[in-house]
Amino acid sequence: MYVCICHAITESEIREAVERGARSLCEVQSSLPVAGCCGRCEAAARDVVDRQLLGASPRGAA
Ligand code: FES
């Protein structure tokens, strides 16, 4: 599903950026231009990052 229409960035691409090591939307933006145009996707993109971080955290690491 597309999260960022302006740059045609999907939820999967954002999740993959987190899996590669990004730990915030700002860090995701270093490899993807998500939320870099109109900004309407920022809240949704941040939500994808946060959910992926929660799911990707090793037990006891938080
Ligand atoms: S929809 Fe993502 S910057 Fe516009």
In a domain, 62, yes or no: no
Query: Could you tell me the distance, in angstroms and rounded to a whole number, from the CA of residue 30 to the centre of ligand 1?
Result: 15
Q: In the chain, how many domains are there? A: 1
* Distance in Å, CA 20 to ligand 1 centroid: 22
- Answer whether residue 22 is part of any domain: yes
* Residue of 2, 5, 47 with the most ligand 1 atoms within 8 Å of its CB, for mutation: 5
**pTM for this model (two decimals):** 0.88
CB 35 within 8 A of CB 42: yes
Q: What is the pLDDT of residue 41?
A: 98
Query: Is residue 61, in this structure, part of any structural domain at all?
Result: no
* 25 domain residue, yes or no: yes
Residue 51 lies in domain: 2-56
Low-confidence residues of the chain: pLDDT under 50: 60, 62
C-alpha Rg value of the chain to the nearest Å: 11
Q: What local confidence, expressed as pLDDT, does residue 46 receive?
A: 98
Among 40, 47, 48, 49, name the best residue to mutate to test ligand 1's pocket (greatest count of ligand atoms within 8 A of Cβ).
40
Q: Which amino acid is at 31?
A: S
Inside any domain, residue 34: yes
Please report, for the domain that includes residue 7, its CATH number: 1.10.10.1100
